[in-house]
Structure 1
Amino acid sequence: MTWTANSCFVTLAILFLWRVEEIAEACSCSPVHPQQAFCNSDVVIRAKVVGKQLVDVGNDIYGNPIKRIQYDIKQIKMFKGPTHVIDAIYTAPISAVCGVTLENNGKEYLITGKLETDGTMHITLCDFIEPWEAMSATQKKSLTQRYEMGCDCKITRCTSIPCMISSPAECLWTDWVIEKTVNGGQAKHFACIKRSDDSCAWYRGEAQPKRDFLDIEDP
């Protein structure tokens, strides 16, 4: 009887540790403004998935194979990245370790990610990945005209009132406290742009910022 009780205790302890490990390994990301995602990423592309397979990409320190999902893609446009065409992207096989699920049905995506030393592109749930049709006209235009102009700025997310910026080179992102979503008006229609005095300010609209906005010292 004692042996059975001890065995049950050991089994429960192992299950508990497995559960703790699962929780510890769960994917957790802080939301970022699309401009931040653009600036922080090595690669930003518009693409659609044309194939999917599970592949080995090496071994861990214990000699076990490391699995990744390889999405074969058709690159439609590169907004930021290397000179070569990206024809495949890699992600973890499950969402618990930040693996991304993409649809292979002709849907086009805006995909941001990291470029590894071997030239391959890797993505996680922490990257900005959005169906192209769900993006606003301002977001699409900003990929080629405006986001890069604010990469030296800092976008500070406001999570509760009061909140404030700590330097003129910051823009306060208030979508969450005002609209209870990180995909609100500032994410969809604004970019944080650096001006001539090194301050940063939100700019709305699809067109390039006018000179009088950039050079605020002009009359």
Structure 2
Amino acid sequence: MTWTTNSCLVTLAILLLWRVEDLAQACSCSAAHPQQAFCNSDVVIRAKVVGVQEVEAGNDVYGNPIKKIKYDIKQMKMFKGPNQFIDAIYTGPSSAVCGVTFDTNGKKEYLITGKLEADGTMHVTLCDLIELWDSLTETQKKSLTQRYETGCDCKITRCTSIPCILSSPAECLWTDWVIEKMVNGEQAKHFACIKRSDDSCAWYRGSAPPKKDFLDIEDP
């Protein structure tokens, strides 16, 4: 075997490793508090998924067809979005490209957040908040209509190790990971980051909207 052949094999191996790393990193998402997911999304709906099909969405730069998965849905309620009815959502063809898989028997209800494309279609990825409706806490369900939107001007900063420092009064420190070793902890389940009358932000716990001003994270 010549040096040239060895060199080609090494180069091929490196390219394959890069490709594996690219695929592994193709869908990488930062954990987000449900309020962040709500505020960062164009559309937030409650829906059942009733059908699925693979569709083509144009071609890539090499002329190859781009595949997407289209899920037909039955929209139950829109919490945030355009003045139009959403009857389908689109996602990537595999989890490697952040594609989402839904149960299509129409029996399960989902909370689905996503982006609105220029053509008016809704697109979702694994980085969006997608949960079974029955798995949400009552506080989370009520916050979709009463509280999350009032705190969209606030910043939620995730604390991953102690000490954690806030850089602005308009921030709330999200400590579920350091305290409970999970992102779906007490603050995610039962709290919202709300702006107070002095423009600072603080965690608020409770099912009803907070009063104009509040002092701490306890129920009013």
Which amino acid is the alignment partner of residue 58 of structure 1?
G
**Matches of 1:12 and 1:68 in 2, distance apart?**
35
Partner of 1:23 in structure 2?
21
TM superposition shift of 1:16: 4.0
Once the two structures are superposed, what CA deviation does each residue of 1:26-45 show, in whole Å capped at 9, x if it has no partner? 31010000000000000000
**Matches of 1:22 and 1:66 in 2, distance apart?**
21
Partner of 1:217 in structure 2?
none
Check if 1:68 corresponds to 2:68: yes
Which amino acid is the alignment partner of residue 127 of structure 1?
D
Aligned residues: 212
Coordinate RMSD, CA, aligned:
1.7
For structure 2, the residue ranges without an aligned partner over 5 or more in a row are 216-220
**Matches of 1:91 and 1:145 in 2, distance apart?**
29
**Structure 1 residues 9 and 101 mapped into 2: Cα distance closer, same or farther (>3 Å)?**
farther
**Matches of 1:102 and 1:133 in 2, distance apart?**
15
Which amino acid is the alignment partner of residue 77 of structure 2?
K
Which amino acid is the alignment partner of residue 63 of structure 1?
G
TM superposition shift of 1:15: 4.9
TM superposition shift of 1:48: 1.1
Check if 1:102 corresponds to 2:107: no
TM superposition shift of 1:18: 3.1
Q: 1:14 aligns with which of 1, 12, 31?
A: 12
Partner of 2:90 in structure 1?
90
Which amino acid is the alignment partner of residue 17 of structure 1?
L
Percent identity of the aligned residues? 74
Once the two structures are superposed, what CA deviation does each residue of 1:39-59 show, in whole Å capped at 9, x if it has no partner? 000000001110011110111
Check if 1:183 corresponds to 2:191: no
Where do 4+ consecutive residues of structure 1 move more than 4 Å?
none
* Aligned partner of residue 213 in structure 1, secondary structure: coil
For structure 1, the residue ranges without an aligned partner over 5 or more in a row are 215-219
